[in-house]
Amino acid sequence: MDRRDFLTRLTAAAGGWLAGSRGSAAGQGGRPGGAGQRPPRGKVVEPAREIPIVAEADVVVVGGGPAGVAAAVAAARAGASTILIERYNHLGGLWTGGLVLPLLATHGTDRDGRRRQVIAGIGGEMARRLAAMKMAIHEIDPVVDPEAAKVVLELMVQEAGVRVLYHCWAAGVLMENGTVRAVLLESKSGRVAVVPKVVVDCTGDGDVFYWAGESFDMMRYHIGLVHRLGNVDRVDPSKPGFKKIPLGGATPLRSVNWVNMHGEKDQDGLDLFNLSRLQQKYRIEIWNHVEKIRSTPGYEEVFLLDTASQLGVRMSRILDGQYRLTLEDSLGHKAFPDSIGVSGAWTSLAHGGKTISEKERPSWQIPYRSLVPKRTRNLLVAGRCFSFERALVEDARVIGTCLVTGHGAGAAAAVVARSGGSVQEADVAAIRKTLLEQRAFLG
Amino acid sequence: MARPVRWFSLAAAVALALPLPVGIFAHFHLWLSPNLVLQAVLSGAPLAPFQAVAAGVLLLALRQERWFCRHLCPTGALCDLAAAVRKGGASVGERVPHLHRALALAGIGAAAGGTPLLAWMDPVALFAGAWGFLRPGPAGAAVLALAGLAAVVGSNVPFPRLWCARLCPLGGFQALLGDLRRLLRRAPPVPDGALAGRRNLLASASGLAAGLILRRSLEKGGRTVVRPPAALPEGRFKATCCRCGTCVRVCPTGIVRPSDDLSDPAGLLAPRLEFTKGYCLPDCDACGRSCPTGAIRRFEAAQKGRIVLGRAEIRSEDCLVTAGRECDRCVAACPFGAIRMAGGTFDVHPEVDAGRCVGCGACQAVCPPGAVRIRPA
């Protein structure tokens, strides 16, 4: 069907909804994020205009990172017509384009003290397919090849029948009676609208719930820029003057390493000017650093293979949802009747005077309510911006957890789209049944 | 001698010594020994509320010969059990002189001189310390902890009542009270009573001298291990600690461990902190509240940010962040905000703010590659 066939016209006072949603977010306890933190140098008024509706779908997933792909595949497999919005030219977000290659938190310790894989379902399928292609190393917290992951994710959305819109950036929402009536996209086709039954916010920064007026916690964290090195297998330690230099971590390609960057701490990941400053600074610093490596005896063949296509924004907005998952919840094998998945832990923790090593850390259930905003009736949130307390951030923000929350939100969105009603009153039993059919592990 | 109350007391002491959540009542008998409490007070430790009970015990012991031995002493009850193994004692024990008054006087003298050098000989301290074998810790320390009580109790098999009647300083303390009672009642003194022999005078004088001399010399010398918070200076700490193991027992995070380091014999069984599986909580004062001798001074939990145990040292060469790996565990774990990431993009490393770090060990305990060590202060 040609999309022109169902093109209708919506009128949007663009300036109006923008100012309105800003105000409500600030008024509800969330601190303003993004460029709003800088005092404006003046104002212009965007005239009201008509925005073409270019598509309608049961489920619209905003953001094609690990959470978004898992959500879109889950929704489509559950029978929902699904659109996935992605700003870049590939899927996988920070996992692939961001070159944050380790799929962390795949394992956790169960009640019997056994360490087992908890990332199952669609995320587990991704890991399995990458391993079968020999494009993942390590069984626990595997490191993947980014190009292979982009292909696997692409194949999975195509096989599931997800309609992917690349090269477009969600720019806002139109709210109507507490529901998202339309998601506005900025693209080479101009500003367009897609009309969802249910929206899944997988933007990482919580852009959609912010526009919808939900309250949130704004977390500043360190921001880096990952790069990869080539020819790391051609380092010659026999050269006179050789000294050992850290070259990052191994990837499935023998000659390629990925190099993490801690980056500047306490950074605002929503500030346009700040992101630009960091991007410019890191670009030069990485180049100079690699040049220094190359000028060290023995390292002449090493080269800068690529830098990530996006900054490594680790945290920004965290939803203040129906339930805020706590660190305590994650440490005591807390069982939630509405569990939509289980995640693991990848690092040690000092808690209440005791150390819990990553091998001892319990797996933790994620309740459906932590993906559900307080007010908006047709919005679910997955990925690093779902509802949890800051103490849980290290395990909540990683790829493994994003895959779990994404899968849960996608299946839930399909169930809500089919049954009608709000996400707050969703049939949790039906969601869990769908997830189990899709081989998710619910604890 | 074997009154039912004594068996009840023994049963209570054993029950309290078992690893149950009984808090500072873990070794309640420690608060009851007037010998131990007097030594602690004389050496300058503030009196804990519970220790006032010891004053009552002292009054009762003044009224009745060896009241504590007859009614409360768990070690004495065990000694009687051991003595019952063989009826009729050997004569060797009879030839050992009565040294208990001298030992009590020497201990009190040393405490008056500032250092309760013989506190560890108190039978309730020996009893409490022996239960260290129930706790996780070095095997050597467990054997050593058990050895004191085993020797005292075991000696009753060949030499019945050798310990209780002739060596025990708490027995000697009560014998001195008996001497005092006889004096007050103008009764004839016993042959080797307090006012009789030169031995007792010599013992108290030499105890006092040793306490005074050592007090000075023990001030010197730094720590090589991390001690519990508010512990006395190293030398005095080792001399004052009675090795009862109560601090080891009450520590909620299990970081207080008895030393089994043979290269420091003076410090054997004295508590030290090991940050392998835990760290010192910023709001805990359990060890300070439970120390019967004041080797760990009592402190307020609110002062915890100023009580320095040591300083964290991070070896950059082992640090994950320095190697470009994702980690900020030490920064996140520090209760005092004393660690921050410093340096530029490609020389980022955790840095310790020596002004804020108190050496609680959270960073050492959490560090995945074990790159942090607390250097004792």
Cα Rg, chain B, nearest whole Å: 23
Residue A19 pLDDT more than 60?
no
pLDDT along chain B (377 residues), means of 10: 80 88 80 91 84 88 90 92 74 74 90 91 93 82 89 90 91 90 84 67 84 81 92 93 92 93 91 95 93 93 93 94 92 96 94 96 96 95
Q: Which of A186, A136, A158 has the alpha carbon at shortest distance from A18?
A: A186
Contact A289 B321 (CB under 8 A): no
Exposure string of B91-126, with b = 16+ CB inside 10 Å and e = fewer, is eebeeeebbbbbbbbbbbbbbbbbbbbbbbbbbbbb
Helices marked H in chain B: 4-17, 34-42, 52-63, 67-71, 74-83, 92-95, 100-112, 123-130, 139-154, 162, 169-184, 198-218, 234-240, 246-250, 286-290, 329-333, 362-366
- Return the pLDDT at A32: 47
pLDDT at A193: 98
Question: Two tokens at A258?
Answer: 């990925």
- B73, B100, B96: which is closest to B172 by C-alpha? B100
Residues A71/A341, Cβ–Cβ less than 8 Å: no
- What's the confidence (pLDDT) of residue A4? 43
Minimal CA separation from A244 to chain B, in Å: 11
Contact residues, chain A, for B324 at CB < 8 Å = 246, 248-249, 259-261
pLDDT at A384 over 70: yes
Residue carrying the six token digits 């569990």: A339
The predicted structure's pLDDT at residue B299: 93
Q: Which of B100, B102, B96, B99 is nearest to B207 (CA)?
A: B102
Q: Report the candidate in A440, A404, A438, A442 with the shortest Cα–Cα distance to residue A66.
A: A404
Which of A121, A69, A74 minimizes the C-alpha distance to A97? A69
Q: Which long-range contacts (CB under 8 A, 24 or more apart) does B330-337 make?
A: B330/B362, B330/B363, B330/B366, B330/B367, B330/B372, B332/A350, B332/A394, B332/B366, B333/A349, B333/A350, B333/B279, B333/B362, B333/B363, B333/B365, B333/B366, B334/B362, B334/B363, B335/B282, B335/B360, B335/B362, B336/B282, B336/B305, B336/B360
CA distance, residue A124 to nearest chain B CA (Å):
23
CA torsion angle B161 B165 B169 B173 (round to 10) = 150
Q: How confident is the model at residue A16 (pLDDT cuts 50, 70, 90)?
A: very low
Residue A210 and residue A74: Cα distance in Å, rounded?
24
Which residue in B278, B326, B345 is closest to A354 by CB distance?
A: B278
Whether the pLDDT of residue A183 is over 90: the answer is: yes
- pLDDT for residue B193: 64
A222 touches chain B (CB under 8 A): yes
Q: Which pLDDT score, from 0 to 100, does residue A324 have?
A: 98
Domain ranges of chain B: 2-290, 308-376
Name the burial class of residue B87, with classes exposed (0-12), middle (13-18) and buried (19+) by CB atoms within 10 angstroms of its CB: exposed
Using alpha carbons only, give the angle B205, B210, B213 rounded to the nearest 5 degrees. Answer: 120
Task: State which residue of chain B sits closest to A288, comparing Cα positions.
Answer: B346
Whether residue A261 and residue B284 make contact (CB cut-off 8 A), yes or no, is no
Alpha-carbon gap, residue A226 to A251, rounded angstroms: 13
Please state whether beta strands A190-201 and A163-165 pair in parallel, antiparallel, or not at all (unpaired). unpaired
Q: Which of A248, A347, A357 sits opposite B324 (nearest CB)?
A: A248
Say what the ipTM of the complex is. Answer: 0.86
- According to the model, what pLDDT value does residue B51 have? 81
What local confidence, expressed as pLDDT, does residue A28 receive?
Answer: 39
Q: What is the pLDDT of residue A47?
A: 94
The DSSP 8-state label assigned to residue B6 in this structure reads H
Nearest to A416 by CA among A62, A80, A73: A80
Q: What is the pLDDT of residues A105-118, one digit of tens each?
A: 999 999 999 999 99
Comparing alpha-carbon positions, the chain A residue that sits nearest to B333 is A350
Spatial separation of the C-alpha atoms in residues A19 and A22, rounded to whole Å: 5
Q: Are A55 and A195 in contact (CB under 8 A)?
A: yes
What is the residue whose two structure tokens read 């995070």?
B253
pLDDT at A356: 95
Paired tokens of A15: 């300036």
Q: Are A406 and A398 in contact (CB under 8 A)?
A: no
Q: What is the pLDDT of residue B210?
A: 86
Top-confidence residue, B44 or A418: A418
* A264-267 β-sheet, strand order: A264-267, A221-224, A312-313
Question: If you average pLDDT over residues A322-340, what whole number do you get?
Answer: 97
DSSP state of B88: S
Contacts of B76 (CB under 8 A, 6+ apart): B6, B69, B123, B164, B168
Encoded tokens for B257: 């461990």
Distance CA B45, CA A69 (A): 66
pLDDT mean across residues, chain A: 92
A98-102, A120-124, B6-10: least confident range: B6-10
Is the pLDDT at A30 greater than 60? The verdict is no
Among A290, A303, A370, which residue's Cα sits nearest to residue A330? Answer: A370
Mean pLDDT of A363-378: 98
The answer to whether the CB atoms of A350 and B348 lie below 8 A apart is no
Lowest mean pLDDT among A165-174, A393-402, B58-67, B188-197: B188-197
Q: Look at A355 and B328 and tell me if their CB atoms are within 8 Å.
A: no
Q: Phi/psi of residue A26, each to 5°?
A: -65, -40
Amino acid at A402: C
Angstrom distance (rounded) from CA A283 to CA A304: 11
**pLDDT (average), residues A382-391:** 98
A424 at the B interface (CB within 8 A)?
no
| Angle, helices B198-218/B100-112, rounded to nearest 10 degrees | 30
* CATH code linked to domain B308-376: 3.30.70.20
Query: Which position has the token pair 């602690």?
Result: B40
